[in-house]
Amino acid sequence: MGLFDFFKKKPATPKVVVEVLYPQTWENGEVPVEPTALAAEVLQPTPGQAVEIQVPSHVAVEEDVATVAETAETETAVTSETNLDEGLTKTRKTWSERWNAFMANFRSVDEDFFEELEETLIGADVGAQTALQLTDELRNEVKLQNAKSKADISRVIIDKLVEHYRSQGVNEDASMHFAPDGPTVILFVGVNGVGKTTTIGKMSARYKAEGKKVVLAAADTFRAGATQQLQAWGGRNGIPVVAGAANADPASVVYDGVKTAIETNADILFVDTAGRLQNNVNLMQELAKMKRIITRELPNEPQEVLLALDATTGQNALQQAHLFKDSTDVTGIVLTKLDGTAKGGIILPIRNELHLPVKWVGLGEQVGDLQPFDADDFAKSLFGSLLIGDDK
């Protein structure tokens, strides 16, 4: 496929309308939520209103009342989703500006040109290692193709960027894996503030809307308010949350979560974890312990250990990823907050240096602002805008 074909826009796909329903009874008679109270109270929640969620009796709950937070009025139905193209607006604008400035400076293909190219790529967050490698490859490529005019040079470089980006992702499996039967466990890891809890809120609503029975486990017992934050998401989306007392052993919450998921025939258990403990060693040990508990009860789980990385932190996110990758079997990355940053280029070194598939991207704070990552759409959105000089 040539560059031109690659950049041809796909026909617009209709936006998915996710109806987020309020707590409902489960089909098989297990009732995590009191149905009549719900019909009366939850269909029209007002900010701050309490929603009662009943969890199985063996589960210790810190509070069995989740509060519909201030955002309640926006949560009755999610009618819009932010797409990747919209989420990449800031990154694309910055890339275009840098690219245009770089090309405007172009006089001839000499050593200064390649140095400037390398700097431009580093400035676009592709990472020093990737920038160096690309520039080296381009030295040969420009010669090989005898590119001299501005247009030719520009095409050769973008061609190389796209080729490099695509080849790095060839063996990556960005799909989500599910157990053939029994609950699938999805464990979320990542340092504090990167968006783990928010992503669980969004992703669980999404799978619920697809008809899956979902349970959340609030295993971040370290940070005050962490459990309530997850309970608020559960309350808004009608998803039961298994929680423990403040400072309870997170592994005990994981255990209760797994038991609840098994006993209630849930399809997916999402496990939220703390982003900050006393130190990183503690954090990693705690994660290992949680994994052991899960695997002891469900030998093939967790199917997914998703590492949340905050795109706005740029190269820092890469360092965090190395830390987690070295001590946990991370199966994929959720790159959050792409909407708020010009650092979306970080996807390139994630592929090139980490070789972990980006499976999801966070594009905002609302329930609809999470998308499965589509590598080709990303390339079209970002590199395509350079090719046609379109800075939207």
Residues between 44 and 83 that touch ligand GTP (CB under 6 A):
none
The closest alpha carbon to 222, from 277, 288, 291, belongs to 277
Half-sphere exposure (Cβ direction) of 74: Cα atoms closer than 13 Å: 10
CB of 365 to ligand GTP, least distance (A): 4
340 binds ligand GTP (CB under 6 A): yes
CA–CA distances in Å: residue 192 to residues 21, 147, 217, 317: 29, 47, 17, 12
* Contact map string, positions 293 to 332, toward ligand GTP, x by CB under 6 A: ---------------x------------------------
234 binds ligand GTP (CB under 6 A): no
196 binds ligand GTP (CB under 6 A): yes
**Which residues, 6+ apart, have CB-to-CB distance to 302 below 8 Å?**
184, 185, 186, 187, 271, 291, 294, 295
- Shorter beta-carbon distance to ligand GTP: residue 184 or 336: 336
> Which residue(s) pair with 306 in the sheet?
188, 332
CB of 16 to Mg ion, least distance (A): 26
Residue in 239, 241, 258, 363 binding ligand GTP, rule: CB under 6 A: 363
- Choosing among Mg ion, ligand GTP, none, which partner's interface includes residue 289 (Cβ < 5 to 8 Å by kind)? none
- Choosing among ligand GTP, Mg ion, none, which partner's interface includes residue 239 (Cβ < 5 to 8 Å by kind)? none
Piece in contact with Mg ion (CB under 5 A), picked from 179-187, 194-202, 204-212, 320-328: 194-202
Residue in 67, 135, 197, 352 binding Mg ion, rule: CB under 5 A: 197
- Shorter beta-carbon distance to ligand GTP: residue 182 or 340: 340
DSSP for 3-17, please give it: HHHHHSPPPPPPPP-
Distance of CA 217 to the CA centre of its chain: 18
Residue in 235, 250, 364, 368 binding ligand GTP, rule: CB under 6 A: 364
CA–CA distances in Å: residue 250 to residues 37, 196, 290, 317: 31, 16, 8, 25
- Choosing among ligand GTP, Mg ion, none, which partner's interface includes residue 86 (Cβ < 5 to 8 Å by kind)? none
Instruction: Residue count of the chain, please give it.
Output: 392
257 binds ligand GTP (CB under 6 A): no
- Shorter beta-carbon distance to ligand GTP: residue 133 or 192: 192
Residue in 75, 85, 125, 220 binding ligand GTP, rule: CB under 6 A: 220
- C-alpha angle 135/334/356, rounded to 5°? 50
194 binds ligand GTP (CB under 6 A): yes
Handedness of CA 372, 125, 339, 193 (dihedral sign): positive
E-strand stretches of the chain? 50-52, 65-67, 184-189, 214-218, 241-242, 268-272, 304-310, 332-336, 358-362, 370-372
Residue in 177, 223, 259, 325 binding ligand GTP, rule: CB under 6 A: 223
Could you tell me how many residues of this chain bind ligand GTP (CB under 6 A)?
22
Q: Which of helix, strand or coil describes residue 214?
A: strand
Cβ(301)–Cβ(295) under 8 Å?
yes
Encoded tokens for 88: 């990449």
- Enumerate binding residues for Mg ion (CB under 5 A): 196-197
- Interface residues with ligand GTP (CB under 6 A) are 190, 192-198, 220, 223, 226, 275, 308, 336-337, 339-340, 362-365, 369
